[in-house]
Amino acid sequence: MVAEGAERNDVLLALVDASTVSATADESSVFVAPAAAAAGSRVGPPARPGHVSRTEPSVTTYHPTLNPLPDELHSPRLLLRPYRLADADQIFVAVDESRAHLRPWMAWVDGHTSVADSRDWCARCAANWLLRAELTVGVFAAASGRHLGCVSLHDPDWDLRAFRIGYWLRASAVGQGYATEAVRLLVDLAVGPLAARRVELRCDARNGSSRRVAERVGFVLEGRLRNAFLASDGQPADELIFALIPDSARFRPA
Ligand SMILES: CC(C)(COP(=O)(O)OP(=O)(O)OC[C@H]1O[C@@H](n2cnc3c(N)ncnc32)[C@H](O)[C@@H]1OP(=O)(O)O)[C@@H](O)C(=O)NCCC(=O)NCCS
């Protein structure tokens, strides 16, 4: 049973690999170029409010699934790429060493207890990548291939071209600028090829490290929602909302 499941996942991941090759002529015909998007033009019928569903097919003739995505993103120190099943062991080690560090800010950490959870995570990330429902990439050291953490564009609104960004680093990788570097790479993908009009970043108001990442990249603080969610300690917490738009004077590419 396990082997069959693994085979199915490998097929899925092979599909993901195939979906990340450069745009074909057909694909490029549905891809909204940044300039066209900025001018307000769109492909397909008028905008449908709300986000792309993770289960229902799109009701428009515009297919987010056909947006070409790069196989990899690079900076001098980092490689960002979609997860593969083979990453599961590394991911689990990274999560396991980081529980105390992640727990205050990441609700999922205590439910992630085995390598099987990491494999499941890889498969879900691959499926969401294929559906363009969530664009999650692993952050790896360019030189060694060591898994450092994760960055994600989630809750995409393909009509508005808006995304939310989230991230975490393993405990032994903090304090070296990797998160800022990785967030910049993903923001560059969002405001460049994906023609984002808005990238939003939300964090617990007490999360100073995350707030400083937002500020270094050039996100603008738009507001503070009081008692906006229940934090991992079960207590209501305030949430800061940052956003970045491409023509923001404060947008600071790497
Ligand atoms: C949020 C999180 C990713 C930030 O990690 P981080 O390591 O502080 O951020 P960066 O990787 O950008 O590193 C920046 C820090 O490294 C320092 N640094 C050291 N060497 C550096 C270098 N070569 N280049 C850049 N910065 C460097 C910077 O001065 C900065 O320190 P400061 O924040 O104390 O001023 C991390 O704390 C984390 O994983 N937290 C738990 C999960 C979480 O909160 N996620 C966000 C939810 S909204």
pLDDT in tens, 59-104: 566 799 999 999 999 999 999 999 999 999 999 999 999 999 999 9
Q: Alpha-carbon distance 78 to 151, whole Å?
A: 12
pLDDT over 80 at 58, yes or no: no
Strands 73-74 and 236-244: unpaired
Phi first, then psi: what are they for 204, rounded to 5°? -55, 130
Question: Which residues are near ligand 1 (CB < 6 Å)?
Answer: 101-102, 105-106, 167-169, 174-180, 203, 207, 209-210, 212-213
Residue whose C-alpha is closest to residue 11's, from 85, 82, 88, 64: 85
Question: Could you identify the residue written with the tokens 């969610």?
Answer: 229
One CATH from 2.60.120.200, 3.90.1170.50, 3.40.630.30, 1.10.3720.10 for 16-38+71-249: 3.40.630.30
Counting atoms of ligand 1 from 1, which one is nearest the CA of 105? Answer: 44
* 109, 178, 200, 209, best to mutate for ligand 1 pocket (most atoms within 8 Å of CB): 209
pLDDT of residue 61: 67
Q: Alpha-carbon distance 142 to 72, whole Å?
A: 11
Residue whose C-alpha is closest to residue 23's, from 83, 65, 73: 65
pLDDT of residue 8: 41
Closest residue (by CA) to atom 30 of ligand 1? 175
Cα 163 to chain centroid distance, Å, stands at: 9
The SS3 of residue 200 is strand
Full strand arrangement of the beta sheet holding 220-230: 73-74, 78-81, 135-141, 147-157, 162-169, 198-204, 236-244, 220-230
Cα 180 to ligand 1 centre (Å): 7
Largest CA distance in the chain: 54
Q: Is 168 left (phi over 0), alpha (psi -120 to 50) or beta?
A: beta
Tokens in use for 53? 């569903």
Tokens in use for 78? 């980092």
Residue type, position 79, single letter? L
Q: Alpha-carbon distance 67 to 158, whole Å?
A: 10
pLDDT of residue 32: 31
Q: Alpha-carbon distance 251 to 254, whole Å?
A: 10
Cα 141 to ligand 1 centre (Å): 15
| Higher-pLDDT residue of 187, 30 | 187
* 112, 169, 187, best to mutate for ligand 1 pocket (most atoms within 8 Å of CB): 169
Q: How many CA atoms lie within 13 A of 79 on its CB side?
A: 13
Average of per-residue pLDDT across 223-229: 98
Q: Alpha-carbon distance 83 to 97, whole Å?
A: 19
**What pTM was estimated for this model as a whole?**
0.82
